[in-house]
Chain A
Amino acid sequence: MSYSINMTVNGKEVTGEVEGRTLLVQFLREHLGLTGTHVGCDTSQCGACTVHVNGRAVKSCSLLATHLNGADVLTIEGLADGDKLHPMQEAFREYHALQCGFCTPGMVLSAIGIVDDNPDPSHDEIRHELEGNICRCTGYHNIVLAIEAAAKEMRG
């Protein structure tokens, strides 16, 4: 069975026809061509598929697209302002908080969620809040430093 849905993705109104079982990540990648949101594990462990829905970080591999009819969605493609990176993206670049980059879109969206909840997080708090994002390259150290630096920048 097919369902008509509409949502706001990165500030733009989008519509689509999906099945009941279509996941948000499938809608983003396959219907809208927004392939910056990655599927890592497909078992809701790794966090590579993290996006924001109505301002909160969520795993797009574990949500139905139909469930989010009318929602406001932010993906990695919607963060930068033209050529100007979001402070979190800039901090990941500055602190070399990535190697292969596969986990990075989810890491960056999760990291922004962490700072939204806690504008001045400690290293321990950052590590606790990063439990839902797996990186197999960096050992997390530079990711923690990047989030700390971006939090400072975002506090202004």
Chain B
Amino acid sequence: MYDFTYQRASSQDEAVSNHKNADDARFLAGGMTLIPVLKQRLDKPSDLIDLGDLEDLKGISKDNGNIVIKAMTNHHTVNYSDLVKKHIPALATLAGTIGDPMVRNRGTIGGSLANNDPAASYPSAVLALNATITTNMNNIEADDFFKGMFETALEEGELIESISFPIPEQAGYQHFPNPASRYPIVGAFVAKTGGGVRVGVTGAGPCAYRQSEFEEAWSDGNLDPERIKDIKISPEGLNSDIHASAEYRAHLVNVMARRAIA
């Protein structure tokens, strides 16, 4: 790891202003991706701004028809939250499949979304539930947030504060884990809310996306797995690597979406 200047922010304002004043800073949330990246010398920030003390950015609440999860809430907390289990059980289940217990004890929802790993689990839920991401600058709709592989709508120095998930009538998540890393090779989140049926897919493409063919097949709200069984997903543009070809991922998208609501 290259050395850097370590700064521990005592308030959100301080974190943002220290980030602005540094040459090339990164926010440090749980560090479950950033620290391994730094260890491999894949990044060389001048400063790390540690958000670990910002208690204002931790916690889960219910606000009208939404479950609001603050950015520094870790995966274990989401997995075990009574509020999330009661209102969006699929989201609690999803959180319990991320990494392993030690990763879930440190990794955060805000960190995961800001990083936008192609195989991260949360982005599929954000898209399917049509969540809103609130930052220190903006409210960003789910459909506008994920821009490409490790790319988001966040601007330099923009900090995620919370994610607001509309409570669905029905939702489910399934992924096919890589046997070694446990990351989804493909994961699918299916949700029916007041706004209709949405399907978020992760692991298959450069970043999470919505599978419109499935959404159309389920547009009347009847989430019958048989309706999508014969829909073939094109492998064009999907990821292909040592673990799974694009054709295999395309096949898994259909299987995971059906299992999500089975």
Contacts and interface: CB of A to CB of B under 8 A. Distances in A.
A20 B106 contact: no
B242 interface: no
Interface stretch (B34-42, B123-131, B221-229): B34-42
B5 A56 contact: no
Interface in A77-133: 110, 113-114, 117, 129, 131-133
Nearest to B182: A131
B70 interface: no
* Chain B contact residues: helix, strand, loop or mixed: mixed
A105 B31 CA distance: 23
Given A20-B5, A21-B4, A21-B38, A64 B31 contact: yes
B44 to A, nearest CB: 11
Given A56-B76, A63-B31, A20 B4 contact: yes
B45 to A, nearest CB: 10
A129 B101 contact: yes
Nearest to A19: B3
A20 B35 contact: no
A63 B38 contact: no
B100 interface: yes
A67 B7 CA distance: 9
A50 B1 CA distance: 20
Contact of B3 (A21, A43, A56): A21
Give the size range of A's interface with the partner.
20 to 34
Interface residues of B, number: 30
B38 to A, nearest CB: 7
B52 A67 contact: yes
Given A62-B35, A64-B31, A69-B8, A110 B3 contact: no
Contact of B102 (A23, A67, A110): A110
30 contacts: A3-B6, A19-B3, A20-B3, A20-B5, A20-B48, A21-B1, A23-B35, A43-B36, A43-B39, A44-B35, A44-B36, A45-B181, A47-B100, A56-B105, A58-B102, A58-B105, A59-B102, A59-B106, A62-B36, A62-B106, A64-B35, A67-B52, A69-B8, A110-B101, A113-B101, A113-B102, A113-B105, A129-B101, A131-B182, A132-B101
Interface of B: 1-6, 8, 28, 31-32, 35-36, 38-40, 48, 50, 52, 76, 80, 99-103, 105-106, 180-182
